[in-house]
Amino acid sequence: MPAREKPAIAAWVLGLGGTLPFMGTAVGYCAGPDNLRGPMGLAMLTYAAVILSFLGGARWGMECIRHYPPRGKILTLAVLPSLAAWGLLVGAIWMPLSWQLGGLIAVYLVQWLWDTGSAETPHWYAPLRTTLTAVAGVSMAFVFEQSMRG
């Protein structure tokens, strides 16, 4: 198998390691003392926004490598997760945590659909993204559910 077709072991190791903040903040929010809920909710939102920005940047980079000049439509789409995440993070001013998390979960699902449905990503990318999105989504869903309870 050519090197470019081998599973990206480093991507899997780093990606799975990158799920630890999702799981850790979910445990801290759901099982920790009540005085940790605010900081853990903020940590979850912030990390989710950072990772969405990373995912958009990954798609931007893939576009720049595969196409010259890069297609403006794809670059625009690659920026949207960052903007949505920022808007939801700033939304703390006027919306509850549950709405913010619900919005982030929705954006993650849209990004996952794009990433796994694209013929322009490496073959190993879809299974990686599916696994990582599942862990992030379940973690956010636990915090979402607990935040709905109050």
pLDDT in tens, 19-61: 999 999 999 999 999 999 999 999 999 999 999 999 999 999 9
Q: Which tens digits make up the pLDDT trace of 92-119?
A: 899 999 999 999 999 999 999 999 999 9
Cα-Cα-Cα-Cα dihedral of 77, 78, 84, 89, to 10°? -170
pTM higher than the cut 0.75:
yes
For residue 57, CA distances in Å to 43, 70, 111 come to 21, 13, 12
Q: Are 47 and 22 in contact (CB under 8 A)?
A: yes
